[in-house]
């Protein structure tokens, strides 16, 4: 997948080596791509807040990282963001695959997805929705650099417009 | 009510501040210490600030993941997580991750008072039925032990922390609150911790 290769390449260009994640179907090319590449240290965690905590510790130890999750996983990290990442000024890089919109079949995913951007806006965390392969390298590269330079987190939301969404979900739509 | 299933026949009830002091005294190689929300960080702070201390002021349950992250980033440095029983019960999954990755430079100390002391002394499952050492072993941290008494604790922490892990030590402790209040300044805590780990930004402001 070109978007996944592009994202991993930009991570490398910015010395982001640690990948913590909870699996998601749409993110499979990112997660598998990182696992297959010796450059990355790839660690599956049991919860998304654990992925964020691990990232925070690694950053303070001098290792840059990214946490990958789906929208419902994002809903588990509000406290880790608001009481660790934001107050301690940790430049966490967070990749969220956007479920719950543009062809979702599961009402639970739809509802939880609606909490994501309001949560990020409420705690003033920078976020960018990636929907286009052409602009993605610029957005990701500049935002990662901005995050580390300004000691601030950034969230990349991978839109179905970019990823094509979950094929299994698409098959369930009528 | 079933008796606690702890494997040590007679574990003495110890004290958090005392154990924390004993631990800190043993640190000879600038080990990083990450202390959880509430009493564990209060007693670490009370034991005397060290540049390699990190104090959590929120994010309940994340002391072990944060320490794990430091351990991954600095494999040559010993890293210790101090966490309460209520806090680790909230985040048991991280023990499975640590049991899987097996960072040899990570040690976890669980202060088990059987209660959520700081929020009003409500009972935790550890008071009756949940055995943290059994849980940790089941999660893949084979080197997990109940602390029998002060002398046993001193033996268990008289070692190099940069190797031999992951290790989990759990101590049954009394119901005393922490004995100091950590300075409530997260950016300062983070900045000083990073300088202590040699990862802080160097600038003229350090003078
Ligand atoms: C997510 C979350 N839930 C609840 C709380 C409230 N809270 C703060 S400390 C704490 C108890 C911690 O218990 P334990 O780890 O056993 O430490 P102790 O107070 O016994 O020293 C609770 C419930 C919180 N800060 N965050």
Say how far apart CA B119 and CA B42 lie, in whole Å: 14
pLDDT at B31: 98
Q: Which fold has domain A2-160?
A: Rossmann fold (3.40.50)
Residue closest by Cα to atom 21 of ligand 1: B39
Percent of chain A with pLDDT over 90: 94
CA distances from A41 to A58, B32, B96, B123, B130 (A): 11, 21, 18, 39, 33
Low-confidence ranges of chain B (pLDDT < 70): 1-9
Structure-derived torsion over alpha carbons of residues B150, B155, B159, B165, reported in degrees to the nearest 10 = -80
A62 → closest Cβ in B96, B187, B197: B197
pLDDT at A169: 81
Burial of A28 (0-12, 13-18, 19+ CB in 10 A): middle
Query: To the nearest whole angstrom, how far is the Cα of B64 from the nearest Cα of chain A?
Result: 8
CA of B188 to the centre of ligand 1 (A): 23
Residues 6+ apart with CB under 8 A from A118: none
C-beta B38 within 6 A of ligand 1: yes
Q: To test ligand 1's pocket by mutation, which of B43, B55, B87 has the most ligand atoms within 8 angstroms of CB?
A: B87
For residue A111, which of A100, A127, A98 has the smallest C-alpha distance? Answer: A100
Give the confidence band of A1 by pLDDT, cuts at 50, 70, 90.
Answer: confident
Say how far apart CA A18 and CA A65 lie, in whole Å: 4
Residue A141's H or E segment, with its range, is helix A136-150
Residue of higher predicted confidence among A1 and B45: B45
Superfamily for domain range B16-197: Thiamin diphosphate (ThDP)-binding fold, Pyr/PP domains (3.40.50.970)
C-beta B54 within 6 A of ligand 1: no
pLDDT at B7: 54
pLDDT at A170: 81
Say how far apart CA B43 and CA B113 lie, in whole Å: 14
pLDDT at B9: 53
Local structure of A126: helix, strand or coil = strand
Task: Confirm if B69 and A56 have CB atoms less than 8 A apart.
Answer: yes
Local structure of A127: helix, strand or coil = strand
């Amino acid at each position: 997948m070109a978007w996944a290769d592009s994202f991993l390449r930009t991570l490398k260009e910015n010395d982001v080596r640690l990948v913590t994640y909870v699996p998601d179907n749409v993110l499979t090319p990112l997660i598998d791509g990182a696992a297959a590449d010796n450059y990355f240290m790839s660690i599956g965690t049991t919860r998304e807040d654990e992925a964020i905590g691990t990232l925070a510790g690694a950053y303070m130890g001098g290792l840059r990282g990214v946490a990958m999750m789906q929208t419902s996983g994002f809903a588990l990290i509000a406290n880790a963001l608001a009481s660790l990442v934001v107050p301690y000024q940790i430049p966490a890089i967070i990749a969220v695959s956007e479920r719950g919109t543009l062809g979702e079949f599961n009402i639970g995913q739809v509802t939880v997805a609606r909490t994501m951007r309001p949560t990020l806006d409420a705690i003033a965390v920078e976020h960018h929705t990636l929907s286009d392969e052409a602009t993605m390298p610029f957005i990701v590269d500049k935002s990662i650099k901005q995050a580390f330079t300004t000691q601030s987190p950034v969230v990349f939301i991978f839109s179905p417009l970019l990823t094509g969404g979950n094929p299994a979900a698409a098959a369930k739509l009528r | 009510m079933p008796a606690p299933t702890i494997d040590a026949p007679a574990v003495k009830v110890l004290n958090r501040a005392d154990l924390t002091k004993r631990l800190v005294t043993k640190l000879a190689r600038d080990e990083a210490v990450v202390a959880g929300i509430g009493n564990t960080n209060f007693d670490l702070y009370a034991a005397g600030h060290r540049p390699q201390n990190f104090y959590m002021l929120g994010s309940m349950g994340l002391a072990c993941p944060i320490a794990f992250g430091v351990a991954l980033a600095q494999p040559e440095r010993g890293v210790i997580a101090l966490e309460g029983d209520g806090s680790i019960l909230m985040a048991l999954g991280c023990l499975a991750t640590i049991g899987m990755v097996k960072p040899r430079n990570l040690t976890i100390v669980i202060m088990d008072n059987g209660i959520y002391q700081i929020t009003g002394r409500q009972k935790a499952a550890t008071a009756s039925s949940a055995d943290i050492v059994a849980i940790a072993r089941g999660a893949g941290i084979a080197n997990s032990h109940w602390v029998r008494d002060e002398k046993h604790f001193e033996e268990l922490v008289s070692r190099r922390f940069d190797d031999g892990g992951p290790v989990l030590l759990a101590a049954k402790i009394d119901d005393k609150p922490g004995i100091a209040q950590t300075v409530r300044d997260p950016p300062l805590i983070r900045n000083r911790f990073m300088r202590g780990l040699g990862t802080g930004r160097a600038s003229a402001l350090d003078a």
